[in-house]
């Protein structure tokens, strides 16, 4: 039976690759976006042209009411959400003492509150069905920490704490909650660092290359799939050995 997935930040980068992968695996997909309407609508059309089902829905994940509306629209069009992927994210690059309060709060609003909002919106139905799967996209910096990315790393670490705690709480209800922690993945977020930094990051990666959005999408699909049905509360690093 076709299942429905909802992917936040599905318009670009890792989220877009996750959407494509899940659609290829037969999921109907709700594609959340913030600003990239044309990209999200184009992706939904691409999936429909291939015989799949998809709907692009705008919402700032930091906005609780907007998230509820977007998830309601997706469920109405595509059916109850069986898989939630919390992928929406923003980057940071500044010293801790220069980090404006608004930026600190925005990092937590998008990464931690965003997951709080989406999960609370889909959970009643999953609890009723006694089935469901949640995959959160954290970061290796949420595991290890990183200079000039304190707010980013702290909010991504919060997502790992949320994952582990919620996994314990929801396991008796047959709902699994896991995390992927990508390393350096070539998306718009990383392109912004410039070619020199990108080349140096690739050199520092034991696997000898940077990751692709598809590398992360494969890990998300694994955690969402039946091969992982006894795996919950885990953080799967997808980084070519970067933090070993
Ligand atoms: P990206 O290319 O910049 O794409 C970010 C996506 O998130 C876009 O679809 C964007 O939507 C969406 N988004 C941002 N803020 C949002 C909000 N408030 N509400 C809803 N959607 C929002 O980034 P990416 O590299 O694919 O990153 C995806 C996730 O992976 C992020 O959580 C990031 O922290 C994490 N990650 C990335 C890397 C990496 O190296 N790239 C490494 C570790 C972790 P619009 O385009 O519509 O604005």
How far does residue 196's CA lie from ligand 1's centre (Å)?
A: 22
How far does residue 122's CA lie from ligand 1's centre (Å)?
A: 21
Angle between helices 13-24 and 213-224 (to 10 degrees): 50
Q: What is the pLDDT of residue 132?
A: 98
Residues with CB under 6 A from ligand 1: 8-9, 11-15, 32-36, 60-62, 87-90, 110, 137, 139, 182, 184-185, 187-190
SS3 of the chain: helix, strand, coil, percent, to 5? 55, 15, 30
How far does residue 121's CA lie from ligand 1's centre (Å)?
A: 20
pTM over 0.85: yes
173 with 130: CB under 8 angstroms?
yes
Q: By three-state DSSP, how is residue 19 classified?
A: helix
User: What Cα–Cα distance (Å) separates residue 8 from each residue in 17, 97, 214, 229?
Assistant: 12, 30, 16, 23
Which stretches of 109-224 are DSSP H helices? 114-129, 140-144, 150-170, 188-191, 195-203, 213-224
Q: What is the pLDDT of residue 149?
A: 96
d(C-alpha 186, C-alpha 166), whole Å: 30
Q: What is the pLDDT of residue 152?
A: 98
Q: Is 152 a catalytic residue?
A: yes
The separation between the first and the last C-alpha atoms of the chain, rounded to the nearest angstrom, is: 40
> In the chain, which residues have pLDDT < 70?
none
Q: Which of 6, 9, 198 to mutate to test the pocket of ligand 1 (most atoms within 8 A of CB)?
A: 9
How far does residue 187's CA lie from ligand 1's centre (Å)?
A: 9
Q: What is the pLDDT of residue 114?
A: 99
Q: What is the pLDDT of residue 244?
A: 94
Half-sphere exposure for 113 (CA within 13 Å, toward CB): 15
Q: What is the pLDDT of residue 1?
A: 75
Q: What is the pLDDT of residue 123?
A: 98
Q: Whose CA is nearest to atom 39 of ligand 1?
A: 185
Give the pairing of strands 28-33 and 4-7: parallel
Q: What is the pLDDT of residue 222?
A: 98
């Amino acid at each position: 039976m076709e299942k429905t997935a909802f992917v936040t930040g599905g318009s670009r980068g890792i989220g877009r690759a996750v959407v494509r992968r899940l659609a290829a695996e037969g999921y109907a997909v709700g594609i959340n976006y913030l600003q990239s309407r044309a990209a999200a609508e184009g992706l939904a059309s691409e999936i429909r042209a291939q015989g799949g089902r998809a709907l692009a829905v705008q919402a700032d994940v930091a906005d609780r009411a907007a998230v509820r509306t977007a998830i309601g629209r997706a469920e109405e069009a595509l059916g109850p959400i069986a898989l939630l992927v919390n992928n929406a994210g923003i980057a940071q690059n500044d010293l801790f003492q220069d980090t404006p309060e608004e930026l600190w709060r925005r990092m937590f609003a998008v990464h931690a509150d965003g997951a709080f909002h989406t999960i609370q919106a889909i959970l009643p139905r999953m609890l009723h069905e006694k089935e469901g799967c949640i995959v959160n996209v954290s970061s290796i910096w949420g595991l290890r920490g990183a200079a000039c990315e304190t707010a980013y790393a702290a909010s991504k670490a919060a997502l790992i704490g949320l994952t582990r705690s919620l996994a314990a709480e929801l396991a008796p209800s047959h709902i699994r909650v896991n995390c992927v922690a990508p390393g350096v993945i070539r998306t718009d977020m990383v392109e912004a660092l410039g070619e020199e930094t990108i080349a140096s990051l690739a050199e520092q990666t034991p696997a000898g290359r940077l990751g692709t959005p598809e590398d992360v999408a494969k890990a998300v699909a694994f955690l969402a799939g039946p091969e992982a049905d006894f795996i919950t509360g885990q953080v799967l690093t997808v980084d070519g050995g970067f933090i070993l």
